[in-house]
């Protein structure tokens, strides 16, 4: 089948198409449109044409459209999950979990559409302000340029499209090249949900072509991007006065203090390390364990990792399947090999079959190794020991990234110390850093990005405050 662009409420053909293949077995999925610069401008034209309609639409109507989309997704949950599993090679049970989260994300967006509150300003609090009544309102920015990654092709789209619609904006969406079908499915759902033509446009193609036009066009009011630091930095440098939100990944760390219950926490941390082949921005990558628990923890962690089932993403039992691309598999393997050559112990894995990298556990990795200091985005984790809690916190902070971190401790003083001292966007006490629910503020510091997602917080990013003041005679 040929998948055309979605512009102005209808499909649009273009000159070039590219074969979309399964990362797992290489089977063809579709021929997907590769947008030209003029196609992107057409999408922006459509979003601009719909901008006034969306801005003037009553809040209850925007909420109703989002609620309609939720109802449709509930009816078509399995179809949505199968699309994700096929194009992303995400194990089916994980894909179903993503669909459930996507439904919840749009539900939160519907709620937030009805809660765009302003406030009254006591103007007479300042000399000269007497005889005035003032209040604020929140207005939509206009057109949102949304660029999303492959790893959560429906839910991360929802985190950009949901708040944009809730706030009354229009959207030009550029999904990841490997996972476009999820985005086109969402466009179809919103069409049936009653979203006006042009309010959501889906453009597939090369990141350079599509992204460059979105960033350069003055009609785009905001770029919201999830992806690599290199691309995020380029967007930030070229966006001019556009508002920008960037979520750029991490090498998330977890600290296991000396009083932690190893038997209880190992399954949880292992889940955080290997879910969807570790291709999660907040996947557990670095584990720092107190020296008194280190040996026991490492042995139990390897045992837990051995339980994971590897295979076809469409198999109900599969935990680990193919990486998104062969180049990502090769890159991760080269980082593993480098760490081992530098003295790390390979406790499990390190092998790959075709495009599937087996769950890998490394011990005592030097902090200068890429598998420690860069974002692995693979089913690879390393476990190192520490002797003092202060040392552990310093190890977590010794990173160019800062998205989320986890700390397992029964000492409330240490918990509060970690909460204060860890330089990250979110600190999860007695939980892994991979924890996220879709209404909480989510974002990072340092190379992990800027701005916050989570529907309420994204709506704030996508609105402009206006002050209205009445002078009373």
Q: Is residue 417 within 8 Å of residue 393, measured between CB atoms? A: yes
Of 247, 369, 375, 453, catalytic: 247
Active site residue 281: yes
The DSSP element (H or E) to which 134 belongs, if any, is strand 132-140
CA–CA distance, 420 with 437 (Å, rounded to integer):
22
Both tokens of residue 86? Answer: 């096929």
Of 281, 453, 460, 461, catalytic: 281
Both tokens of residue 473? Answer: 């005679």
Alpha helix positions (H), 308-439: 326-341, 370-373, 389-397, 412-421
> Three-state SS across 179-198?
CHHHHHHHHHHHHHHCCCCC
Both tokens of residue 103? Answer: 């439904």
Q: Is residue 195 within 8 Å of residue 177, measured between CB atoms? A: no
Q: What is the biggest distance separating any 2 CA atoms in the chain, rounded to whole angstroms?
A: 81
**Pairing outcome for strands 243-247 and 16-21:** unpaired
Q: Is 364 helix (H, G, I), strand (E, B) or coil?
A: coil
Q: How far apart are the first and last CA of the chain?
A: 68
Write out the catalytic residue numbers. 247, 281
């Amino acid at each position: 089948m040929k998948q055309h662009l979605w512009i102005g409420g209808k499909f649009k053909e273009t000159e070039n198409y590219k074969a979309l293949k399964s990362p797992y077995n290489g089977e063809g999925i579709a021929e997907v449109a590769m947008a030209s610069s003029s196609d992107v401008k057409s999408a922006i034209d459509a979003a601009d044409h719909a901008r006034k309609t969306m801005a003037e639409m009553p809040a209850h109507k925007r909420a109703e459209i989002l609620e309609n989309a939720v109802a449709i997704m509930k009816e078509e949950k399995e179809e949505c999950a199968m699309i994700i599993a096929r194009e992303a090679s995400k194990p089916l049970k994980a894909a179903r979990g993503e669909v459930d989260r996507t439904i919840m994300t749009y539900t939160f967006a519907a709620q937030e559409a009805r809660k765009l509150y302003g406030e009254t300003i006591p103007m007479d609090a300042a000399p000269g302000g007497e005889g005035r009544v003032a209040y604020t309102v929140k207005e939509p920015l206009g057109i949102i340029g949304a660029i999303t990654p492959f790893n959560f092709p429906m839910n991360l789209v929802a985190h950009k499209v949901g708040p944009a619609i809730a706030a009354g904006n229009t959207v030009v969406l550029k999904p990841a090249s490997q996972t476009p079908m999820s985005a086109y499915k969402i466009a179809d759902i919103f069409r049936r949900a009653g979203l006006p033509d042009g309010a959501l446009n889906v453009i597939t193609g090369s990141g350079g072509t599509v992204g460059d036009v979105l960033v350069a066009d003055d009609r785009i009011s905001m770029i919201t991007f999830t992806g690599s630091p290199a691309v995020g930095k380029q967007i930030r440098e070229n966006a001019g006065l556009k508002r920008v939100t960037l979520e750029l990944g991490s090498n998330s760390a977890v600290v296991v203090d000396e009083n932690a219950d190893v038997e209880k926490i190992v399954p949880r941390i292992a889940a955080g390390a290997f879910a969807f082949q570790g291709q999660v921005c907040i996947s557990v990558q670095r584990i720092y364990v107190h020296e008194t628990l280190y040996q026991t923890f490492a042995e139990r962690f390897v045992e837990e990792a051995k339980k994971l089932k590897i295979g076809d993403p469409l198999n109900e039992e599969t935990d680990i399947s193919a990486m998104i691309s062969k180049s990502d598999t090769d890159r991760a393997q080269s980082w593993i090999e480098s760490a081992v050559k530098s003295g790390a112990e390979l406790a499990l894995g390190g092998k790959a079959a075709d495009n599937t990298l087996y769950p890998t556990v490394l011990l005592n990795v030097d902090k200068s190794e890429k598998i420690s200091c860069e974002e692995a985005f693979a089913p690879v984790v390393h476990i190192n020991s520490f002797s003092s809690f202060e040392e552990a916190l310093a190890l977590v902070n010794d990173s160019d990234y800062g998205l989320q971190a986890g700390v397992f401790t029964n000492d409330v003083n240490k918990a509060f110390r970690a909460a204060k001292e860890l330089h990250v966007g979110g600190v999860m006490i007695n939980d892994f850093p991979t924890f996220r629910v879709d209404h909480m503020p989510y974002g990072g510091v340092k190379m992990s990005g800027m701005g916050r997602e989570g529907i309420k917080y994204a709506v704030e990013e996508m609105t402009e405050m206006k002050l209205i003041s009445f002078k009373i005679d």
